[in-house]
Amino acid sequence: MNTTTNIDDDILLSRYQEHVLVITLNRPEARNALRNQSLREITTALHAAASDDTVRAVVIHGSQTVFAAGADIKEMAQLNAISALTDSRPEFWKIISAFHKPLLGAVNGYALGAGCELAMHMDIVIAGENAKFGQPEINLGTIPGAGGTQRLIKAVGKALAMKMVLSGEMINAQTAMAAGLVAEVTSDDTTLERALTLACTIAAKSPLAIRLAKEALLLSFEMPLSAGLNAERKSFSLLAASDDRNEGIAAFLEKRKPLFLGK
Residues 44 and 88 sit within 8 Å (Cβ to Cβ): no
Residues in a beta bridge with 210: none
Alpha helices, H only, 77-206: 81-86, 89-98, 114-121, 148-156, 158-167, 173-179, 191-203
30 binds ligand DAK (CB under 6 A): yes
Name every residue whose Cβ is closer than 8 Å to that of residue 109 and which is 6 or more positions away in sequence.
62, 63, 64, 65, 66, 67, 128, 130, 131, 132
146 binds ligand DAK (CB under 6 A): yes
Least gap, CB of 46 to ligand DAK (angstroms): 18
Report d(CA 237, CA 249) in Å as an integer. 15
User: Stretches 139-147, 188-196, 208-216, 255-263: which one binds ligand DAK (CB under 6 A)?
Assistant: 139-147
Least gap, CB of 114 to ligand DAK (angstroms): 4
Helix (H) or strand (E) holding 104: strand 103-107
Residues 145 and 189 sit within 8 Å (Cβ to Cβ): no
Contact pattern for ligand DAK over residues 103 through 122, marking x by CB under 6 A: -------x-xxx--------
145 binds ligand DAK (CB under 6 A): yes
Residues 222 and 89 sit within 8 Å (Cβ to Cβ): no
User: Stretches 14-22, 30-38, 41-49, 241-249: which one binds ligand DAK (CB under 6 A)?
Assistant: 30-38
Length of the chain: 263
Least gap, CB of 183 to ligand DAK (angstroms): 23
* Neighbour tally for 239: CB within 10 Å: 17
152 binds ligand DAK (CB under 6 A): no
Least gap, CB of 156 to ligand DAK (angstroms): 18
Q: Is 114 or 192 the residue whose CB approaches ligand DAK more closely?
A: 114
Residues in a beta bridge with 34: 71
Q: Is 102 or 136 the residue whose CB approaches ligand DAK more closely?
A: 136
Q: Is 136 or 207 the residue whose CB approaches ligand DAK more closely?
A: 136
Write the CA distances from 35 to 40, 147, 158, integer angstroms. 9, 17, 29
Q: Is 125 or 203 the residue whose CB approaches ligand DAK more closely?
A: 125
87 binds ligand DAK (CB under 6 A): yes
State the pairing for strand pair 132-134/171-172: antiparallel
Residues 62 and 68 sit within 8 Å (Cβ to Cβ): yes
Least gap, CB of 195 to ligand DAK (angstroms): 21
Q: Is 87 or 247 the residue whose CB approaches ligand DAK more closely?
A: 87
Residues in the site for ligand DAK, rule: CB under 6 A?
Answer: 30-31, 33, 66, 69-74, 76, 84, 87, 89-90, 110, 112-114, 136-137, 140, 145-146
